[in-house]
């Protein structure tokens, strides 16, 4: 089962965390299931980008983004290539 390491974030996860999630689970779903309550304004219907995260390691293990996702991310605040 994939392991997701969450770096400390003052608002969402001050101590950091390490969690496992079944393959195919979105990072947003995994965080919410472990009570790390990141914003998700459209309830994960891919319409808002408030749930976007920065992946520091393991980016290559993720499915490639789709064109609609890239178009939405172009409007996201604090966007980084990863
Ligand atoms: S909650 Fe993820 S795109 Fe809106």
- pLDDT tens-digit series, residues 38-80: 999 999 998 899 999 999 999 888 888 889 889 998 888 888 8
How close is the Cα of 34 to the center of ligand 1, in Å?
17
Q: Is 52 in the pocket of ligand 1 (CB under 6 A)?
A: no
CATH number, domain 3-73 = 3.10.20.30
What separation in angstroms does the CA of 2 have from each of 19, 23, 69, 72, 75? 8, 6, 22, 26, 29
pLDDT of residue 79: 86
Domain ranges of the chain: 3-73
How close is the Cα of 1 to the center of ligand 1, in Å?
24
pLDDT of residue 46: 87
What separation in angstroms does the CA of 65 have from each of 20, 33, 61, 79? 22, 23, 12, 14
């Amino acid at each position: 089962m994939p392991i997701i390491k969450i770096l400390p974030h003052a608002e969402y996860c001050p101590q950091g965390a390490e969690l496992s999630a079944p393959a195919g689970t979105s990072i947003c779903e995994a965080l919410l299931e472990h009570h790390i309550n990141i914003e998700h304004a459209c309830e994960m219907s891919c319409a808002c980008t408030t749930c976007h995260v920065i992946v520091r390691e393991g980016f290559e293990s993720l499915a490639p983004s789709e064109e609609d996702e890239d178009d939405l991310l172009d409007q996201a605040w604090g966007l980084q290539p990863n």
